Amino acid sequence: MWVILKTLFYLGLGSWVLGRGTRAMSAEEKTTIRGQVLEMFEHAYGSYMKYAYPADELMPLSCRGRVRGQEPNRGDIDDSLGKFSLTLIDTLDTLVVLNKLEEFEEAVRKTVSEVRLDNDVVVSVFETNIRVLGGLLGAHVMADLLRGRGERMQWYQDELLHMAKDLGHRLLPAFNTTSGLPYPRVNLRYGVLNPLSRTGTESDTCTACAGTMILEFAALSRLSGEAVFEEHARKALDVLWEKRQRGSDLVGTVINIHNGDWVRRDSGVGAGIDSYYEYLMKAYILLGDSVYLERFNTHYSAIMKYISQPPLLLSVHMHNPTVSVRGWMDSLLAFFPGLQVLRGDLKPAIETHEMLYQVTKQHKFLPEAFTTEFRVHWGQHPLRPEFAESTYFLYKATGDPYYLKVGQSIVEKLNTHARVPCGFAAVQDVRTGTHEDRMDSFFLAEMFKYLYLLFSEKSQLPFDIDDYIFTTEAHLLPMSLSITQPPCQGNGTEPRTALEEDLFTHSCPSAQTLFPNNPSFAKTIRDGYKYLNGVGRPQRVSSIRGIELPLHDNGMEPVEFLKSMGISLTQLNEAGGAQLDSSGPKGVYRVKLIAEVSQTTEEEEVLPLIVQVISPPFLGRIVLTAGPAKFGMDLTKQENGVKGSIVKSAPYSACGPIENPAELRGSIALALRGDCMFAAKARRLQGAGAIGVIFVDHKEGSSSEATPLFQMVGDGGPTSDITVPLVFLFSREAAALTTALEEHRHVEVLLLPKEKPPEKPIGMNIQIHLAKEGEVQARQGKGTTIQLLLQPGDEDDEEEEPEAGGNLPTGGHCVSTATEEQAPPPQPCADAQTPPPTPDPSPADPESDP
């Protein structure tokens, strides 16, 4: 059966070559870029082995290893570190893909002889599964392959598989819950419920955390012969399926592991949910069980109905999916076009990928979160590989050399903006280009694997890549596992007759079916999203001043092209629109336009707050810039702010029962960011009697000067019960408070808003209509209206000065008409090359002051 699956699967990924558009990349060019990728990998991996091993990760700015407990706590980010040489294990099968077989054999020897898995460390079940268990399994599969060829690894006796089985048993205690959903954390030595485990108090986990176990656990079961792992992973998937919202077929982001109630009901395809959908599809491909495909198809239909608004992928409320819950997207959703390729839905995959590519053009990398207008929401970029992953899959599916150019841009940006002497450093803020002292293991496990494969031919790889499926961490598992043993008993789902099936519901895509005799179809899809953010539009030089439309030689009418870019044009009468004079240079048209202007909702801005230390000996001299929250008391409406003594919460994260309520009562609590939601912390501290909360960033060295302020958000549910003021301090500012607490027994602060900046100009929306001459006055109505008339002029008059009446050198004029309360005097339109006359700088004229 796996042969049939493989054939179906990779027929859809057969390449086809574009006839027009991007120039094909020569074999020499691909070899050069592949060599670059190899050199970059050697720099990153070599730096880890030289400066960091046996630590879990490399700190590329400090040129040393990151060891849990020896560096400042970063909150839940550190839950991936288990003192088990994480980066080494995560990189093992990458060494084989990159044909570094000697290095692989040496690394396996080190892993077998030096890595311990019985450490007294609390780790993330999800991260340990995908990175360490997946890394061990992928490396075992590669070692077994090389051993079978009789050339290398002859000493290997399945040691990596034994380590994987040991680790699997250490993760199993996390599944000891009433529902079958796993705890989010486990102690590698003591499990979950042991008094020495320091975990087991959590009640919630994310959907992806519970639903991203089946590939690794099923592979472990089928390679080791112990069915218990696959059974537990399947049970968790069964629970998530049963708990989906039956009306929308969507799932939420966070779920209670004991009773199965949804804690956060926002639903998308990014952080918190992403790999749950991925593993349903890939479980079908790897294991051959159609139940997983049926579930995936049900969810996918819901995603395309409610979440996908090409090229955007929004988050909605699972119970009311027509309502968007936020105006931004996170970078983890960049994996989704790759998953759509596996599903056979290439058109939306191309659309979303192109949108993401435009964002990278604007910001160099994908910001950790960005708005629907493609502005930065969270500026970090921890060298995530999801965009490279989707680029690879789209190239495999289309053979379009455009995606090789996209991959080349990724390589160049990494070398230019992330490379440092001791490896590659994450970007702390894409707006400033500042670096962060981290190089996560997934950078070596995934990024270099996808980039190397993108520029490689199958014949250049040490094995047939089409025989394997990628896990979410890009570890390789053989599709032959589907015939190793029958699927788990009882794996079933109720029949769904209402689900509409399409051509690819039970098979993989065929390029000829998708694009019959039209290999340039992908380009026509991309072209509609080429200038989403205004970056990269070609500049045309013309002696004629007119409206330039970025048209292409594709026969598309100008109006239709504008519509494809999201600009709606309407005609003023049914007889026809304005005449488009195409006698000039290509792409330049003289038209007569009317633009209706209306006030828009002002862009939401972050109004900073301040924390002022007012107790002796400071007496107000310490003033710290703080960020606000979207819930809790509105300090801008408190005339005198909120005053109180500060007390550290115990525990400092405020994610468990509060241990010092007597001290907190009537005081302002200090709590560390991380481990749970801001709203959960605020509720606990408010319940303990705190009159306010100051949240402290867990990221060492962060400051309001280097990182833009943001507004803390709730947990997706109602937050009206939280009434105390909440502020956020970056770690550098917060250090002033913690130092003061260490030196003085009583520290009193005042929370109040910072002085408001001057108001921004009102934003405007412009709706453009094409009109014939004589119809201009007919459209005048209520509200502010700008009438723009472009008329043919004599090119010889270009350098003439404007006359008093406001006539332009181009022969056009601009008239603004408004209601009497708003009407300004007529003004000449400013020309891009000829400035208006300089007004007389009379001291008595206030408007002459620049």
Residue with tokens 């558009």: 21
**Strands annotated E in 692-829:** 692-696, 726-729, 748-753, 764-770, 785-789, 813-817
Cα(133)–Cα(29) distance, integer angstroms: 37
216 is known as an active-site residue: no
Cα(651)–Cα(672) distance, integer angstroms: 9
DSSP state, residue 48: I
| CA-only gyration radius of the chain, Å | 30
From the list 666, 609, 670, the residue with the least C-alpha distance to 643 is: 666
64 burial via Cβ count (<10 Å: 0-12, 13-18, 19+): middle
Helix (H, G, I), strand (E, B) or coil at 545: coil
Neighbouring-strand partners of residue 206? 254
593 — phi, psi (to 5°)? -125, 150
Question: From the candidates 90, 386, 437, 440, which is the catalytic residue?
Answer: 386
Residue with tokens 């891009």: 832
| Residue 217 near residue 232, CB atoms below 8 Å | yes
Cα dihedral across residues 155, 158, 161, 166: positive or negative: negative
Cα(94)–Cα(353) distance, integer angstroms: 25
Q: How far is CA 478 from the centre of its chain?
A: 29
**What tokens does 597 get?**
């202007």
Cα dihedral across residues 353, 358, 360, 363: positive or negative: negative
Helix (H, G, I), strand (E, B) or coil at 339: helix
By 3-state DSSP, what share of the chain in percent is helix, strand and coil, each rounded to 5?
35, 15, 45
| Residue 253 near residue 330, CB atoms below 8 Å | no
> Could you please report the per-residue DSSP string of 192-203?
TTSTTSS-----
**What tokens does 20 get?**
């027009």
| Residue 126 near residue 254, CB atoms below 8 Å | no
Question: From the candidates 56, 76, 93, 127, which is the catalytic residue?
Answer: 127
> Could you please report the per-residue DSSP string of 274-310?
HHHHHHHHHHHHHH--HHHHHHHHHHHHHIIIIIEET
- The span from the first CA to the last CA of the chain, in angstroms, equals 76
Distant-in-sequence, close-in-space partners of 376: CB < 8 Å, separation ≥ 6: 363, 367, 369, 370, 430, 431, 708
Question: From the candidates 103, 368, 473, 675, which is the catalytic residue?
Answer: 368
| Residue 448 near residue 385, CB atoms below 8 Å | no
Give the neighbor-by-neighbor strand order of the sheet with 748-753: 622-626, 609-613, 748-753, 642-648, 668-672, 692-696, 726-729
* Half-sphere exposure in the Cβ direction for 494 (13 Å, CA): 6
> Could you please report the per-residue DSSP string of 619-680?
TT-EEEEEB-BSSS--GGG-TT-EEEEEEE-SSTT--S--S-HHHHTTSEEEEES-SS-HHH
| Residue 430 near residue 381, CB atoms below 8 Å | yes
Q: How far is CA 552 from the centre of its chain?
A: 31
127 is known as an active-site residue: yes
Q: Which alpha helices (DSSP H) does 488-545 contain, by range?
A: 511-514, 521-527
Task: Tell me the residue type at 393.
Answer: F
Measured at the CA of 759, the angle between CA 754 and CA 763, to 5 degrees, comes to 135
Cα(325)–Cα(308) distance, integer angstroms: 14
Question: From the candidates 79, 249, 274, 429, which is the catalytic residue?
Answer: 274
Neighbouring-strand partners of residue 328? 371
**What tokens does 386 get?**
């999801």
Known catalytic residues are: 127, 274, 368, 386
